[in-house]
A = this chain, B = another copy of it.
Amino acid sequence: MKLIDRLSEIVGVAHVVTGGGPEGPAPWEQDWRGRSKGRALAMVRPGSTAEVADVVKLCAAEKVSIVPQGGNTGLVDGSIPDTSGTQVVMNLGRLKAVRSIDRKNMTITVEAGCILQSLHEVVEDAGFLFPLSLAAKGSCTIGGNLATNAGGTQVVRYGNARSLCLGLEVVTASGEIWSALSGLRKDNTGYDLRDLFIGSEGTLGIITAATMQLYPRAASQLTAWAALPSIHAALELLERARRVLSASLTGFELMGRFPVSMVRQHLSDLRMPALSTDDPYFVLIECSDAESESHARSLVEGLLSDAIESGEVSDAVVAESLSQVRDLWEVRESIPLAAYKEGLMAAHDISLPIASIPQFVDVTESRLLEAFPGVRISNFGHLGDGNLHYNVHAPSGESAAEFLRRYEEQIRQIVYDSVHQFAGSFSAEHGIGRLKLHWMDSYKSSVELNMMRSIKKALDPSSLMNPGCVVGGG
C-alpha cells in the first residue's frame, strides 16, 4: 500500500493533503512571507497524540522524514519542507484542546495546536494571565512557541516560552509517547529533557501538549512613551525602571527614530504619541501593578519625572485610557508592517549583554556605513532583554531588491561579526531553522556543535525529525 494510503488509514482521508501542483506550492509548503518554497510528499493532520505517534512510527519504518508544523509563522524556515518532495509535513492544528486548568496550582494543560490568542482568551476568562505575547499571536500555536522557545514583549518580567512551561507531552522520534505533563515547580528526578525539547525546533521529537504556568492578572496596566537623547540614556532608564518598578516592569521596548518615522509615513492612520519625533530613540514602558491604577500611576509618573530631571528622558507621556494604551502598543507593533511597506531589508534578530549595546550600535553603524554608504538602520526591539531587531534598509532611492541581492550576505556578515565580538547571539528569539544553519559553524564552538550532534544522534538516530534544521543532517 502506498504511504499516503497508510497515512490516511491513521488520520482519516480528509486529513491527508498533497501539496501544490504546477501553479506553485501550497501555503503550508512555504514560509508565510512567501520567500522560501518547499515541496512535500503530503501534509497530515493527526487528531490525537496517539495518531501523531502512529504517523511517526509509520514514517520511521519507511525512513520518511517529518516536518512538524504549528501556525507556520516562523521566520527561519523551520516549519516548511525542503524541495525534495519526499517529506511529510505534520500539522498539529487539530490538537487544540485545552485539557485542564488547575486554579490552585495556577497551571493550564493545553494541546500543541492551540493558537496563542485562543489560549489567552481561555486564560483570561478563567481570571488569570498567560504572559507570552508576540506579534503572530493570532496564528502561532503554543506547540510552535515551545518548539522555538518564543520570546516577545513580556520577557523582561516573565522570561521566554521555556520559563513558562512546567511539563510536556512529546512523541519521540521512534513514535513513543513521553507523557510528562507535570504541574510541578520543583522536580529533580533526572536530566532536564523538557528544556531540551523546548527550542529544538522539532528535530528531536514532536511536542503534542504542554502544562504552562499562569499568573495573577494585574490590577492595573500602565503604558508610557518616552523620547530619549541617546541609546545610553535608554540603558540608564532601564536600570532606573528595574529599580523603581521591580517586578511590575513588564515591558521595555526600544525604537529608533528611523523605524518610528517609517510608521508615521506608511501608516498615517495610527495615532502617534503627542511628543517630539526628532529624538534619536523612543521607549515604551509597561508597568503591570498588582495593587491599583493610582498606585501604578504614582510609580510610573515618579519614575519619569526623575528620569526627566536627570536628563535620561527629554519628554514623556503616560497613556490616559485603554485606547491610548492600545495606540502606543500599536505604533511599536506596526514597525514590521511599516518596514515591509518601505521595502526589502536585511533583518536581524540579535541579542547582546545589555551594557554593551551602545558600543555595539556605534561600532556596527560605522562599519555598515563605511561598507555601504547611505544604508538606513532600523534599530528597535526588546531592550529589557538585550534583544534588538536590527534591520538594514537600502539607501534611499536605490532599488532595495537589487541592493539586497548583491549585498545581503555581506551585510549579515558585518552585523553578526559585530554581535559575536560583543558576546551576543545571532538568533535571540527566532531560532535557527534552515535559514540560519550556515551561521552555526561560524559562531558556535566545535565543542558545542559536537554535543548537539551527539544528542541529535542519540534521540533521532535515523535523522528523520525535521532534518536540515538546527544541527543539519538529513
Q: Could you say which residues of chain B place their CB within 8 Å of the CB of A183?
A: 353, 423
B189 near A440: Cβ-Cβ < 8 Å:
yes
**What mask results when residues 456 to 472 of chain A are scored 1 for a CB within 8 Å of chain B, else 0?**
11110000000000110
Known: A354-B104, A355-B103, A448-B193. A188 touches B430 (CB 8 A): yes
Contact residues, A96-150 vs B (CB, 8 A): 102-107, 148-149
Q: CA of A309 to CA of B184 in the docked complex: distance in angstroms?
A: 31
A187 near B428: Cβ-Cβ < 8 Å:
yes
We find that the number of chain A residues with CB closer than 8 angstroms to chain B is: 89
Q: Could you say which residues of chain B place their CB within 8 Å of the CB of A73?
A: none
A459 near B454: Cβ-Cβ < 8 Å:
yes
B189 near A444: Cβ-Cβ < 8 Å:
yes
A324 vs chain B, min Cβ distance (A): 24
Known: A190-B452, A198-B192. A386 touches B185 (CB 8 A): yes
Q: Is A242 an interface residue (CB 8 A)?
A: yes
Q: Could you say which residues of chain B place their CB within 8 Å of the CB of A210?
A: none
- Interface centre among A104, A160, A162, A198, by most chain B C-beta atoms within 10 angstroms, is A104
Contact residues, A194-253 vs B (CB, 8 A): 195-196, 198-200, 204, 216, 218, 235, 239, 242-248
Q: Is A387 an interface residue (CB 8 A)?
A: yes
A353 near B192: Cβ-Cβ < 8 Å:
no
Q: Could you say which residues of chain B place their CB within 8 Å of the CB of A429?
A: 186, 188
Q: Is A425 an interface residue (CB 8 A)?
A: yes
Q: CA of A355 to CA of B172 in the docked complex: distance in angstroms?
A: 30
Q: Could you say which residues of chain B place their CB within 8 Å of the CB of A190?
A: 432, 440, 444, 448-449, 452, 470-471
Q: CA of A299 to CA of B290 in the docked complex: distance in angstroms?
A: 11
**What mask results when residues 300 to 331 of chain A are scored 1 for a CB within 8 Å of chain B, else 0?**
00000000000000000000000000000000
B185 near A385: Cβ-Cβ < 8 Å:
yes
The chain B residue sitting closest to A298, CB to CB, is B291
A186 near B447: Cβ-Cβ < 8 Å:
no
Q: Is A182 an interface residue (CB 8 A)?
A: yes
A241 vs chain B, min Cβ distance (A): 10
- Interface centre among A187, A190, A382, A427, by most chain B C-beta atoms within 10 angstroms, is A190
The chain B residue sitting closest to A195, CB to CB, is B195
Q: Is A352 an interface residue (CB 8 A)?
A: yes
Q: Could you say which residues of chain B place their CB within 8 Å of the CB of A470?
A: 190-191
Total identical chains: 2
A186 near B351: Cβ-Cβ < 8 Å:
yes
Q: Could you say which residues of chain B place their CB within 8 Å of the CB of A445?
A: 178-180
- Interface centre among A179, A243, A290, A454, by most chain B C-beta atoms within 10 angstroms, is A290
A454 near B458: Cβ-Cβ < 8 Å:
yes
B455 near A459: Cβ-Cβ < 8 Å:
yes
B216 near A353: Cβ-Cβ < 8 Å:
no
Q: CA of A193 to CA of B172 in the docked complex: distance in angstroms?
A: 19
Q: Is A64 an interface residue (CB 8 A)?
A: no
Known: A200-B191, A247-B248, A444-B189. A425 touches B104 (CB 8 A): no
- Interface centre among A185, A199, A204, A218, by most chain B C-beta atoms within 10 angstroms, is A185
Q: CA of A196 to CA of B198 in the docked complex: distance in angstroms?
A: 12
A450 vs chain B, min Cβ distance (A): 8
Q: Could you say which residues of chain B place their CB within 8 Å of the CB of A198?
A: 192
B191 near A105: Cβ-Cβ < 8 Å:
no
A102 near B193: Cβ-Cβ < 8 Å:
no
Contact residues, A342-362 vs B (CB, 8 A): 351-355
The chain B residue sitting closest to A291, CB to CB, is B299
Q: Could you say which residues of chain B place their CB within 8 Å of the CB of A299?
A: 291
Cβ 8 A contact of A352, one of B184, B243, B430? B184
Q: CA of A291 to CA of B246 in the docked complex: distance in angstroms?
A: 9
Q: Could you say which residues of chain B place their CB within 8 Å of the CB of A160?
A: 186
Q: Is A443 an interface residue (CB 8 A)?
A: yes
Q: CA of A355 to CA of B183 in the docked complex: distance in angstroms?
A: 10
Q: Is A163 an interface residue (CB 8 A)?
A: yes
A189 near B423: Cβ-Cβ < 8 Å:
no
Ordered by A's residue number, 5 sampled pairs between the chains whose C-beta atoms are within 8 Å are A178-B447, A183-B353, A189-B443, A190-B440, A455-B455
Q: Which 10 A-B pairs have the closest CB atoms?
A: A247-B247, A246-B290, A104-B355, A458-B458, A195-B195, A454-B458, A187-B425, A186-B428, A183-B353, A185-B385
